[in-house]
Structure 1
């Protein structure tokens, strides 16, 4: 089934879930509609860039169309004029049969065009689009107007669907399908004793300073314990400074941003995965972090928070430990409890089993394809 994958920027190496859809959905019979194209296309796909340079006529008409679309659709994201005609031609020339808009905000731009082209469209909510974005009443209204235009909605977690429902945004054909992980590549290896890993951007939502402080406090009597951070971001310099101030510079390593393969290799030999996710001040939340699914597949015991979809993945006391957001003392105690557990190996094996049964991305991709096929076949999956 010829599928157009709608996304914001392309290609983004870290967006493994989107890249997997581009490469493999319906046997790889896909094209890409992106907001911006950075010139890198490892998959050799036909690409349409929505935010390419405007024609002179479209530049002049921009104020009118921005106001018109905001009044009619509660969003000014929609293509218009020559850009809209070019997109319709692209969809026709590429014989697109269905559109999957990655992120609800992308669906705002594509749903009216898809309807006009007679092409069914689905969207995939993943985090910011169903948390921070919902702070704006205009986005809530835009989503409500958009829902009847969609053939179906998918979310990585029930948490995000509940967020949408609380804002009055509903769809009768909604499904929870996590992004998943390649459980054939992410596998347990020889675990270094008391080794810890944190993966993610150094931003408020990940609370890296809390993770660092709690690790240092929890392992004062374990000088052999180590913590590796993978990621970069605005809080990275503060984290480096804090590690030195806490006298832990020799036990904490900051690797910066790393390719996905480096994350996989590090998880393989790591015993404990730490992620103190919180709701940022602007309302931004996780959906269901891919990094936690990867850690579970690699047989790591996870220490995290009761945040967003994380409790839908991590079973407290069975595959990991969870505390409330911003509970630094509780996070410290949870890291210590994880390291003290005599059945750590059993917990790690249980995490791996959960990943195999619930987060195998090959199975989840097949489920997504079934939802689309069944919906377009006239029935409900």
Structure 2
């Protein structure tokens, strides 16, 4: 069995494409079920604002790659030709290594950020809930989560990290230095809460919170000590503020051109600054064409993020050492799975022969008592265990090298076991 990964992320796909492939809970559940129906026995999907990655376990990597890429293209009515430049694929060891790098924050837009480890855990939980997370992917994801936790406790990779919300605030401060600016935060979930707290941490306190469900906005506003605005007055509020941060999980844009036209922005002395940290994007793309508006999305935060990357750059080598340790342990476990069926088969073969000899011996000794019978039975089992101990230990130890396949062939030939059950190694591409 081999690992296969197909994905896209912020390095290979712009936000306009990533938002099309973002999977909320219901869509993710549907994708797992669909891929399982397509013949993939184990499937785990990691879906975030910056990446979509599909992991599977297979005996036919080429077919699995084709199944996943076809599924992705069809899901958005795209041709494979158009989608292919934005995809990356990994197989075997490199697929496992990539997941550990993701979980450790090395592949994140914000180096070392901690949110990804929860998102990786969510992917595994969804797969297990929908019965697509089998033993191999469960073991891999558990190892990746352990690597991520070690990276954050044993190194400084997560110190001084920026959240997306903090990066948005720094972008705002680069544009407007006045702390008395009026800010509207759109949303009432975790992202909106983090955005308000990031503003407050930078001494920006003239904040209003608005959400399509007014009660949620009021509850969060009360909790954070800011004002709540009425959704029915969205256009009016847009005309009164200097900055808007949108932070919702809405599938469709919630701020559109007509809202800003109604806001009478021509009365502003400075352009209205719009920072969209939602994915899918919360602000319609054509808003960027309006006069007196400056619109930024997640991809525009790249320069802000890169400015803080150097603070943690020196920790990358330490994190990679942790990943190497966890990767080696996982790959040894994977390789040991190749010989477990052989060891089991060898033991069953030996036990069956022993049982025949036990029965023949007991038939020849009809007058012995039960205690003596038990001595004969136990003696036979001890002989089996002692004879199989060295082959078993050697088989397991040789899983560290591809030579264990040659050794497995030899064992099967010596003991007349089914040669067809030897699975040859699949090399990384």
TM superposition score normalised by structure 2: 0.27
Bigger strand fraction: 1
Larger fraction in helix: 2
Q: Which protein is bigger by CA-based radius of gyration? A: 2
TM-score, normalization by structure 1: 0.29
